[in-house]
Chains A and B, each alone.
Chain A
Amino acid sequence: MSGNDPARRRVAVAGRHGEQMEVRDLKALLVLMRDYGLVELEIEDKKGKVRLVRGSADHAEAGSEARVAGRAASPIKMAIRHVEATEEEGTKAAGRVELAPNQKLIESPMVGTFYRAASPDAVPFVEEGSSVRKGQPLCIIEAMKMMNEIESPAAGRVIRIIAENGNPIEYGQPLMILEVI
């Protein structure tokens, strides 16, 4: 619940973008960091942005604090810097989901609670692998005791259910991935 926890999670998110880079590129950067005694390195090019931190997590925090110490460093500021790194990529509130060209992300149109079935003892609307028609209910978002059915925007197959049954959901949060036929 502390303000720093989301920050750390987002550091990990920022790191994942690095996967798009070639491993040998990363190796070259790590050698560069070692040779010049760098603790932290952030590089942006056409492929994206990568931030590398050497040593333990604590060490990394201390290192970055020291780097900006002269300019009003604070935990909040650090958190923002990390988020900033992921912002340009068009990430939604709850993180980024990789999609193939024939896949559609089903996002929550409202804030509420995610349910996979119409009632606790009912069968879920869909499972991973289910084929769906356009307009078929996929799940329910309960907001203010109102059950809002989320319909499939296209005919296809549910290939992944991202949200957990019964969990709170934000506006724009990814719920499922649909493979469009």
Chain B
Amino acid sequence: MFKKLLVANRGTIAIRIIRACRELGISTVAVYSTADKNALHVRMADESVCIGPPAAEDSYLNIPAILSAATTFGADAVHPGYGFLSENGDFAEACQRSGLNFVGPRARHIRLMGDKPRARRIMKRAGVPVLPGSEGTGVTELREAQADAKRLGYPVLIKAAAGGGGKGMRIARDGAELTRLFPLAQGEAEASFNSRKMYLEKYLEPARHVEFQILADLQRNAIHLGERDCSIQRRHQKVIEESPCPILTSRMREKMGKAAVRAAEVVGYSNVGTVEFLLAGSDEFYFIEMNTRIQVEHGVTEMVTGVDLVKESIRMAMGERLGLKQRQVKFDGVSMEFRIYAEDPERHVPSPGVVTNHHPPGGLGVRVETALYDGYRVPVHYDPLIAKLIVHAGTRAEVIARAKAALREYVIDGIKTNIPLHLKILHDPDFNRGEFTTDFLSRYEAAQPEAAPHAPVSKAS
């Protein structure tokens, strides 16, 4: 049993991890930058340590500072949460070397899945369907990309081999676009991941983003906890996620779930992870990538399965066995998550500032994960995700009605949020019918002049 766990993160996920530790009787150490000294996770943890100045590279991404905090303050485990160092193989390895238990998969699994072309090769060999794309280790020269695109046929998706989070990703619809966008994507990849390695995939549209939650112990037992449909995205950033996927048949769930479990088993994966697929039509699916960490949207899976994924991640890291067999996993109702961003809903620019009044919604099947409080100043330095509203009910129609009520009840004064956008989506007929693909938001916003970027403020909404 871990005695003291250092939470190497901030915001909503840091709070989520601290709560899980409280239940497990593990004491917690929060780390924070000078910009976060009044952050909620710092107040909630049993101990807190300032590790550096506001810039993430100097604090939440500063491996020596985090390890020094963990060893100096006597932690025996480190939970990376999501973002920051969560998918950094070097960090996982450095933790183990320092005698700290890393709550997550082994370093080699993080590195393997972080190398996207390599992950594609392994999945293909294991019989998991992958999208047609670049073979081998990827491409670095434009002419290699052009050759691949010619073979695949346009449109193609340009992706960073070390990618994630939509960085270094561009759609090219013809040769001219590829010539123009490849260097751009490559520049982004180099800046974000320090790697010029790229790869191409056939761009499939329309398609849904459907991902499967994996849970695996160190004894090589792996199960899946069903899927999440994350097709409501803006520029590859998820906005609304739901479980189950509204169009997935139980036959397809079983088929895709088996493929996801195979993806984990073939590499001997342990801890929580997510296998992402593209679903074209209702029965054609392709592996995109595996995320080797807890996801932002883990809450919807928790609501429909009743499994506490953060507690499980800690239990698995302690070497405990899975308490659940695949056939024992039961799905109950429907759950949706609405990501609340501190951003101007019309211009999509971050809106940091002081929250002058905060009232989160409540009631049956309404869960709020947030780091906000009255008087909290949302800092400019980090991701604008400030809250997650997670709604659970028996049917999808009930979830939508409950979510509308909860979003109207939600008070966050002093800063702008995307709550108005969520309410608009909830009134959209296609969304209500469950008929949408990953291009939903861009099409929806193009059709709504008042929601278009840079719309004049004076225009009535």
Residue of A nearest to B71 (CB): A144
Interface centre among B27, B43, B98, B376 (most CB of A within 10 A): B43
Residue of B nearest to A91 (CB): B37
User: Bound complex: CA of A168 vs CA of B31, how far in Å?
Assistant: 14
> Is B72 a contact of A112 with CB atoms below 8 Å?
yes
By a CB distance below 8 angstroms, the chain A residues around B52 are 110-111, 171
By a CB distance below 8 angstroms, the chain A residues around B68 are 110-112, 143-144
> Is A72 a contact of B37 with CB atoms below 8 Å?
no
Chain A, 101-129, CB within 8 A of any chain B CB: 110-113
By a CB distance below 8 angstroms, the chain B residues around A170 are 49-51
Residue of A nearest to B31 (CB): A111
Q: Is A52 an interface residue (CB 8 A)?
A: no
Q: Contacting A111 at CB < 8 Å: which of B34, B40, B47, B72?
A: B72
Q: List 15 A-B contacts (CB under 8 A).
A: A2-B46, A3-B46, A80-B38, A80-B375, A81-B375, A93-B34, A93-B37, A110-B64, A110-B65, A110-B68, A111-B49, A111-B50, A170-B50, A171-B52, A173-B50
By a CB distance below 8 angstroms, the chain B residues around A111 are 49-52, 65, 68-69, 72
By a CB distance below 8 angstroms, the chain A residues around B38 are 80, 83-84, 87
Q: Is A71 an interface residue (CB 8 A)?
A: yes
Residue of A nearest to B358 (CB): A72
> Is B67 a contact of A144 with CB atoms below 8 Å?
yes
User: Bound complex: CA of A113 vs CA of B50, how far in Å?
Assistant: 13
Q: Least Cβ distance of B3 to chain A in Å? A: 12
Chain B, 349-397, CB within 8 A of any chain A CB: 359, 373-376
By a CB distance below 8 angstroms, the chain A residues around B376 are 80
Chain A, residues 63-74, CB within 8 Å of chain B (1/0): the string is 000000001100
Chain B, residues 72-104, CB within 8 Å of chain A (1/0): the string is 110000000000000000000000001000000
Beyond A77-B374, A93-B50, A143-B72, 11 additional pairs, beta carbon < 8 A: A1-B47, A3-B44, A77-B373, A80-B40, A92-B34, A92-B50, A110-B64, A168-B49, A169-B72, A171-B49, A171-B53
> 6 tightest A-B contacts by CB?
A143-B68, A93-B50, A170-B50, A168-B72, A171-B50, A111-B69
Q: Is A76 an interface residue (CB 8 A)?
A: yes
Chain A, residues 136-148, CB within 8 Å of chain B (1/0): the string is 0000000110000
User: Bound complex: CA of A6 vs CA of B44, how far in Å?
Assistant: 11
Interface centre among B47, B53, B68, B374 (most CB of A within 10 A): B68
Q: Least Cβ distance of B441 to chain A in Å? A: 33
* A111-B72, A171-B65 given; A80·B43 CB < 8 A: yes
Q: Is A135 an interface residue (CB 8 A)?
A: no
Chain A, 36-86, CB within 8 A of any chain B CB: 71-72, 76-77, 79-81, 83-84
User: Bound complex: CA of A92 vs CA of B67, how far in Å?
Assistant: 21
A-B contact count (CB 8 A): 81
By a CB distance below 8 angstroms, the chain B residues around A113 are 72
Q: Contacting A76 at CB < 8 Å: which of B40, B47, B64, B73?
A: B40
Interface centre among B64, B71, B72 (most CB of A within 10 A): B72
Chain B, residues 256-291, CB within 8 Å of chain A (1/0): the string is 000000000000000000000000000000000000
By a CB distance below 8 angstroms, the chain B residues around A76 are 40, 43-44, 373
By a CB distance below 8 angstroms, the chain A residues around B65 are 110-111, 143, 171
User: Bound complex: CA of A71 vs CA of B359, how far in Å?
Assistant: 8
> Is A168 a contact of B73 with CB atoms below 8 Å?
yes
User: Bound complex: CA of A77 vs CA of B37, how far in Å?
Assistant: 14
By a CB distance below 8 angstroms, the chain B residues around A93 are 34, 37, 50
Chain A, 2-16, CB within 8 A of any chain B CB: 2-3, 6-7
User: Bound complex: CA of A83 vs CA of B374, how far in Å?
Assistant: 13
> Is A80 a contact of B373 with CB atoms below 8 Å?
yes
User: Bound complex: CA of A2 vs CA of B44, how far in Å?
Assistant: 9
By a CB distance below 8 angstroms, the chain B residues around A81 are 375
User: Bound complex: CA of A1 vs CA of B182, how far in Å?
Assistant: 53
By a CB distance below 8 angstroms, the chain A residues around B27 are 1
User: Bound complex: CA of A144 vs CA of B48, how far in Å?
Assistant: 18
User: Bound complex: CA of A3 vs CA of B48, how far in Å?
Assistant: 10
Q: Contacting B359 at CB < 8 Å: which of A72, A110, A171, A173?
A: A72
> Is A71 a contact of B46 with CB atoms below 8 Å?
no
User: Bound complex: CA of A79 vs CA of B43, how far in Å?
Assistant: 7
User: Bound complex: CA of A168 vs CA of B206, how far in Å?
Assistant: 55
Q: Least Cβ distance of A88 to chain B in Å? A: 11
By a CB distance below 8 angstroms, the chain A residues around B59 are 171
Residue of A nearest to B27 (CB): A1
Q: Least Cβ distance of B4 to chain A in Å? A: 10
User: Bound complex: CA of A144 vs CA of B72, how far in Å?
Assistant: 8
Residue of A nearest to B375 (CB): A84
Q: Least Cβ distance of A142 to chain B in Å? A: 8
Q: Least Cβ distance of A51 to chain B in Å? A: 15
Residue of B nearest to A167 (CB): B72
User: Bound complex: CA of A83 vs CA of B68, how far in Å?
Assistant: 26
By a CB distance below 8 angstroms, the chain B residues around A3 are 43-46
User: Bound complex: CA of A143 vs CA of B373, how far in Å?
Assistant: 34
> Is B73 a contact of A1 with CB atoms below 8 Å?
no
User: Bound complex: CA of A83 vs CA of B377, how far in Å?
Assistant: 13
User: Bound complex: CA of A6 vs CA of B43, how far in Å?
Assistant: 8
Q: Least Cβ distance of A144 to chain B in Å? A: 5
